[in-house]
Structure 1
């Protein structure tokens, strides 16, 4: 059996992509997207019809004299939903759709956009049970997710790098967290000057393993979805995790490689570990976050990167809108 087939028997495999063709190829149960992935997909020729339909909808929503930039800002809110709806026609499970990263420290803004996204999906006939709202794992984001979960809106807390973030998410009863394995490895390689780590010593793998064992030890229902992988070995070391979201470039070698894939993470093993239970309030969260240089830097960097991707997407949409106007005028 291929490594991918064996992995699917112990872990829910999720496709980390906005590329609909890749989703059709690898048949994951769930799919995650983020601003960078949507921006990349929106620039591909095969998805221009989705982009154009979204721009037209935004144009119809606003006043007739709205500027292209304003229309583009309105359109990007709908584009992730447009891709999400198309993806949900292919997969049997859930799609993760991200809140504007520029709202990461704005609880009320996050709540408003999350509710708008769910309303748009439901208006299109998509049940909220098939949507995970992606929110950055800031304190404000976690508290927003806690409110949304109480409203029946399920959340995926992303850009998660530390145990303090994971515990706060579990105590908020969020549906799912996405610890970023590869980005943790990137930070440690840069910080230590090392070129590589043995798979079992990979800092990202160790972080997710610690979170997994903590959750299973204390019976938390929040699901753990390892994300942001740099190599196949990281994935193999986390076989047995609740979910793993994997890019097409790593899904392909997993599908093409045969061999035995042992399960590394097991709930019954975690139950016997000696782990101290912690309670995370804002003061404790802030203190632990400040003390964790890696988590502090990577969270800020991730929010900045996703915000930049959104600005690039808005510019792409504005440029496309200008071309659409020029083509209409030439007819």
Structure 2
């Protein structure tokens, strides 16, 4: 016989089934709710990321500004000087020669024309001589310096003829003439800094200019800590360390290449010099220049200012800072060397010269760093002088030409379409380099039929 189930048992089973169904339904609903909440949070995070500014990249130039390191433009590319935010400008023999040799513009050559015109007018139209050439070269430095100053502002670092590095009297006279010319063009004397090689005569000249004439000086080619201390003893306004050449001297001495700049002995010497000036609160400012690569700038953050070329200025705008956090601003050895160095020094009180008071090793390193650079500057100045002499001679000769000869010059085809020649051995500019392509006709041809005033003997015109 079939028996129906007890109603109580069915009731318990039904309750369990309904509870399980409600549990499953609650879990699914909760999961859908959590999914919606997570999706909303993710969308909010994405909106926050979109609203948040991108992380700031610490470029080399930003790092220099944050460290209060002045940036000086070491280029005669006037468009570059106009674009970058600079604290000053500097000119060197290499920059002037490069500007005169430039094939894509005549900016510097125009200033050479103006300088030659001024030198001729002030001489009263006399015959070409060494003084006229000297005046034209100094005028060229002033014309170029004024053009740089108008585009950038800030101090203008110019230079005396480095070929006179062993004649203190000549360098003092040249510096005073330059300051007078700049002042006549409206520049304040405090905005003019005269670069002088840090030879014994150069240090003496800087000491004289600073103490007795109030002229700011920049002693260049400083090669060691004690060499820098001597320059500070002379009360120079600034000193300049040519970083790349100095590091190269240490590499040649040890016949080694240092991939890690933290281990480079030249870096340690420069760090010690920077620490010495900061420990003793010396007022002379230290400028770094002639860097071979951007990592050298990052490895030496203690400079008061850095001179950067056109390429380095452009790269520093986007190049990220490469110095790691564990790279020391100065090594313990550099700090110890700086604290142990003599201060104040009395080298300039000696009658035998400060180089004789240095150790043989220090003298050797100074000579290895300074004299090759002076030799290179001499070649550059010789090339500049040749171009200046040719321009002055050309303008003097034009004053004697008849109207017919001038028309012949205007209508004649170029005598040298290539424009420039170069001696690969000496890296000097050849005859009429930089100016030949800008001429119409050799003066010898133009004056072959008529030479009323006569050309100047001993001057090569073509």
TM-score (norm 1): 0.90
Out of 155, 158, 161, the position equivalent to 1:94 is 155
2:123 aligned residue: 62
249 and 65 in structure 1: CA distance in 2 versus 1, 3 angstrom threshold: same
| Structure 2 spans left out of the alignment, 5+ residues | 1-56, 408-462
1:80 Cα deviation (Å)? 1.0
Residue 185 (structure 2) aligns with: 124
SS at 1:90 equivalent: helix
Residue 330 of structure 1: aligned partner:
406
Q: Contact 2:70/2:306 (CA < 8 Å) preserved in 1?
A: yes
Alignment partner, residue 92 of structure 2: 34
With over 3 angstroms needed to count, the CA separation of the structure-2 counterparts of 1:95 and 1:203, relative to structure 1, is farther
CA 307–259 in structure 1, closer or farther in 2 if over 3 Å, else same: closer
SS at match of 2:219: strand
Contact 1:164 1:289 in 2 (8 A): no
Alpha-carbon distance, 1:23 to partner = 1.5
**8 Å Cα contact 1:145/1:174 also seen in 2:** yes
Query: Which 10-residue stretch deviates more, 228-237 or 306-315?
Result: 306-315
Structure of greater relative contact order (alpha carbons < 8 Å, 6+ residues apart): 1
After superposing the two structures, state which structure 1 stretch, 135-144 or 312-321, moved more. Answer: 312-321
Show the 5 A alignment for 1:136-155.
136-150=197-211, 151-155=213-217
The structure whose Rg is larger is: 2
What's 2:171 paired with?
110
Structure 1 pair 205/112, CA: closer, same or farther in 2 (3 Å)?
A: same
Deviates more, 1:282-291 or 1:164-173: 282-291
Q: In the superposition, relative to structure 1, how do residues 161 and 122 fare at CA in structure 2: closer, same or farther (>3 Å)?
A: same
Question: Within 5 Å, which residues of 2 pair with 1:48-59?
Answer: 48-59=109-120
Displacement of 1:26: 2.4
Q: Which residue does 2:134 correspond to in 1?
A: 73
Distance 1:289 1:159 in 2: 18
Cα distance in structure 2, aligned partners of 1:259 and 1:134: 30
| Structure 1 position 291 matched with structure 2 position 361 | yes
Equivalence for 1:18: 76
Residue pairs, 1:218-257, within 5 angstroms: 218-257=280-319
Is the contact between residue 134 and residue 158 of structure 1 (CA under 8 Å) also seen in structure 2?
Answer: yes
Decide whether aligned partners of structure 1 residues 301 and 134 sit closer, same or farther in structure 2, where only a CA change above 3 A counts: same
Answer 1 or 2: which has greater helix percent. Answer: 1
